[in-house]
Amino acid sequence: MNDNEKYYTLKTIRRIWKSYATGSTKLLLIALSCNAIVALTTPALPELIRRVIDDIFVNADRSMLTILPLVAISIMLIRAAGTYGANVAINYIGQRIVGSLQKDLYKSILNSDLAYINSIHSARFISSFTADSSKLRETMSSVVVNLSRNILMVAGLVGYLFYVDAILATIFFIVIPPAAIGLKFLGKRLRKAIRMSLEEIGTLSALVSETLKGIRIIKAYGKEKIHLRKASEVIDQVVNFSMKGVRARSASAPIMEIVTGVAIACIIYYAGNKSLDGLMTVGSFMAFTTAAGLLYDPLKAVANLQAMLQEGIAASQRLFPILDNKPKIQEKENLKKLETVSGSINFENISFSYSENGKHVLKNISIKIKSGQTVALVGPSGAGKSSLLNLVPRFYDVSSGKVKIDNIDIKNLSLADVRSASALVSQDTLIFDLSIRENIIFGNENVTDKIFQKVCKDSLVDEFVKDLPDGYETIAGESGVRISGGQKQRIAIARAMIKNAPILLLDEATSSLDSESEKKVQIALDKLIKNKTALVIAHRLSTVRNVDIIYVIDKGIVVEEGDHDSLIKKDGLYSFLFKTQFPESAVEKN
C-alpha cells in the first residue's frame, strides 16, 4: 500500500476521528442537530415572503399583520441560535483535533531518529505543524457542515421549488447544469493556481529564512544581486499564479450572470404567462426566485466538497507520514539496568553506514577504553571521527559489531540509561535562545546554586558573563548569535559539567579560536575531563600529547594507535598530520 492509498479520504477521516475526536461525540451531535435546524428552517424564508405578498399585500388580510412578523422573528431567532451553536461546536472540535494532532506531531519529531530528521528540510516540519494541520481542520469542519447543513438545505430548497411550481422548477434545473460545469472547470483552475502559489510562497519563505541566516556570508561574498534575482524570480511566480487565480475567480461572476440572466428570462416568460392566465400568484413567483437564490451558496459548497476533501488529503499525505514514522532505534524488551556506571567503552569490531545500502563510513573498528581513561581520535576531515562518537549515545545504530558501555551492549540498555551515561560536547555547539543560565542548566532544575557557581567558575563562563549587562540572565539570541564562538564552547562545557555524566564525548570544534581563547577552552576542558572516561576528537594536535592512547582514523579505518611519542617515532599519518600543524616543533624533534 503506498502513501497515497494509505491516506485516502475516508480512511483518514475515520482515523482522525478515532484518534483525536472520540471524546467530542456529544459536541458533534450538537453541531449536527443545530445544522439540521438551520437547514430545515431555510425553506420557511421564501414561504414567509409568499405569505406576506399574497395574504397582506394582495388579499389585504389584516389578521396576518400580527402573525407574520411574529413568525419572522421566531424563524430568525431559531436560525440564529442554530448557527451560533453549530459554529461554536464545530470550531471547538476542530481546535481540539488540531491541538492533539500537533502534540502528537511534536512528540513524534522528538522521538525520531537523527537520520530521519536530517533527511527532511526543517521547513517541511514547520509547514506540517502550521499549514497542514489547519488545512485538515478546515476540511473536517467543511465536511461536517456540508454533510449536515448544506445537503439538507439543498434538499429542502429543491423540494420547496417543486412544491411551489413543478414545471418552473424543472425549467430552472435544466438551465443550471451548464453553469455548474463551467464553474467547476474554473474552480479546478483556481485551486491549481492557489496550490502552485502556495508552493512558491513556501519556497520564498525558505529563501528569506536562509538569507537571514546567511546574511553575513552573502554580504561578505557580495552575492546580494544573485539573491535578489532569485527572490525576484520566485516572487514573480507567486504573482503569476495569483493572477491566474484572479482570472479564474473573476470569470466565474460573468458566467453566473449570463446563466442567471437566461434563467430569469425563462422564468419571467413562463411565470408571466401563468400569472396572466391567473394560475400563479405574485407571492409564489417571489417565493420561487428567493428560494432559487438561497440555493446558490449551499449548492456551491456541496459541489466543492470533493475539492475540499482533496486538499485535506493532500495535507494528510504530508502530515501523517511524520506521525507514522517509526524510529529504527528501538528499545528491546527485558532491558538490563545500568547501575553505577564505571564508564568503560568498548567498540567491538563495528562497521557503520548512514544509510542501509550506503557505503560504510566506519569499517571493522575495535577500540577499548577503560574507565577513567582519555582516548583521542585524530585523522583527516571526513575520516569518520564524529560518526564514531555519535554511536556511543546511540544516535545511530551500528551495521555490525557491538558498542558496549560497562561491558553491556548498549542495545540491551534503555535509551535513557545510555544517554544519561554520557555528555556530549559537539562540533557545532547549539545555544538556545534562552538565558545563559538556562542554557547551562538545560533542564537540570535541581542543580544547587553552589554547584552552578563552581561549574561556571571551572568552565571560565564566569569570566565573560561578568561583563554582560544582564549577567546570567542575558538572552543568547537565536542560535546564540549574541555570544562569541569561544564563549559558546565554554557554555557547552559548563552544560556538560552540570550533567556530570561518567563518560565524556568531546568533538573539538574546528573553528579556529585565537590562542588566548583556545587556552581558556583548554583549561575548561581539562577540568571537565578530570576523573571521567573521555573520548576526545582532537583537531588541534597540541591537545592530545597527554592522552592515554591516540587512535588515528583514516577513511573509516583505524590506521595507527599508540601514545604521542610512539606515533611520532612511527613516522606515519599521525606524524605527518602533526608536522603539518607544527612545522617548528617537528624540526625540533628531528
Ligand X SMILES: Nc1ncnc2c1ncn2[C@@H]1O[C@H](COP(=O)(O)OP(=O)(O)OP(=O)(O)O)[C@@H](O)[C@H]1O
Residues that bind ligand X (CB under 6 A): 118, 354, 361, 379, 381-387, 427
Contacts with Mg ion in 372-431 (CB under 5 A)? 386
In the bound complex, what is the minimum distance in angstroms from residue 313's beta carbon to ligand X? Answer: 32
Q: Which does 387 bind (CB under 5 to 8 A by kind): Mg ion, ligand X, none?
A: ligand X
Q: What are phi and psi of 548, to 5 degrees?
A: -70, -50
Q: Which does 532 bind (CB under 5 to 8 A by kind): ligand X, Mg ion, none?
A: none
Nearer to ligand X, 462 or 518 (CB): 518
DSSP per-residue string spanning 430-490: ---SSBHHHHHHTT-TT--HHHHHHHHHHTTHHHHHTTSTTGGG-B--GGGTTS-HHHHHH
In the bound complex, what is the minimum distance in angstroms from residue 381's beta carbon to ligand X? Answer: 3
Q: Which does 517 bind (CB under 5 to 8 A by kind): Mg ion, ligand X, none?
A: none
Measured in residues, the chain has a length of: 590
Task: Please give the residue whose beta carbon sits closest to Mg ion in the complex.
Answer: 386
Burial (CB count <10 Å: 0-12, 13-18, 19+), residue 50: buried
In the bound complex, what is the minimum distance in angstroms from residue 377's beta carbon to ligand X? Answer: 8
Nearer to Mg ion, 417 or 508 (CB): 508
Nearer to Mg ion, 139 or 390 (CB): 390
In the bound complex, what is the minimum distance in angstroms from residue 587's beta carbon to ligand X? Answer: 26
In the bound complex, what is the minimum distance in angstroms from residue 366's beta carbon to ligand X? Answer: 17
| Residue with cell string 573539538 | 508
In the bound complex, what is the minimum distance in angstroms from residue 382's beta carbon to ligand X? Answer: 4
Q: CA-to-CA distance for 310 and 329, rounded, in angstroms?
A: 34
The total of other beta-carbon atoms located within 10 Å of residue 222's CB is: 8
Nearer to Mg ion, 310 or 386 (CB): 386
In the bound complex, what is the minimum distance in angstroms from residue 398's beta carbon to ligand X? Answer: 14
Q: Which does 66 bind (CB under 5 to 8 A by kind): ligand X, Mg ion, none?
A: none
Q: Which does 237 bind (CB under 5 to 8 A by kind): ligand X, Mg ion, none?
A: none
Those residues whose C-beta lies under 8 Å from the C-beta of residue 190, and which sit 6 or more positions away, are 245, 248, 249
Q: Which does 118 bind (CB under 5 to 8 A by kind): ligand X, Mg ion, none?
A: ligand X
Residue type, 319: L
Nearer to ligand X, 301 or 383 (CB): 383
Nearer to ligand X, 309 or 361 (CB): 361
What residues are paired with 534 via a beta bridge? 374, 504
SS3 letters for 257-287? Answer: HHHHHHHHHHHHHHHHHHHHCCCCCHHHHHH
In the bound complex, what is the minimum distance in angstroms from residue 390's beta carbon to ligand X? Answer: 8
Nearer to ligand X, 158 or 361 (CB): 361
In the bound complex, what is the minimum distance in angstroms from residue 384's beta carbon to Mg ion? Answer: 9
- Quickly list H helices, 304-408: 305-324, 385-391
Query: How many residues at the interface with Mg ion, by CB under 5 A?
Result: 1
Counting runs of H as helices and runs of E as strands, what totals does the chain give?
24, 10
Grid cell for residue 231: 527572490
Nearer to Mg ion, 94 or 556 (CB): 556
Q: Is residue 547 within 8 Å of 376, Cβ to Cβ?
A: yes
Q: CA-to-CA distance for 55 and 111, rounded, in angstroms?
A: 71
Residue 240 makes contact with Mg ion by CB under 5 A: no
What does the radius of gyration of the chain's CA atoms come to, in whole angstroms? 36
Contacts with Mg ion in 40-79 (CB under 5 A)? none
Q: Which does 317 bind (CB under 5 to 8 A by kind): ligand X, Mg ion, none?
A: none
Nearer to ligand X, 161 or 504 (CB): 504
In the bound complex, what is the minimum distance in angstroms from residue 92's beta carbon to ligand X? Answer: 43
Long-range contacts of 355-359 (CB under 8 A, 24+ apart): 355/115
Query: Following CA atoms 436, 439, 440, 443 in sequence, which dihedral angle do they give, to the nearest 10 degrees?
Result: 140
What residues are paired with 65 via a beta bridge? none
Nearer to ligand X, 242 or 427 (CB): 427
Q: Which does 354 bind (CB under 5 to 8 A by kind): Mg ion, ligand X, none?
A: ligand X
Q: Which does 116 bind (CB under 5 to 8 A by kind): Mg ion, ligand X, none?
A: none
Task: List residues binding Mg ion (CB under 5 A).
Answer: 386
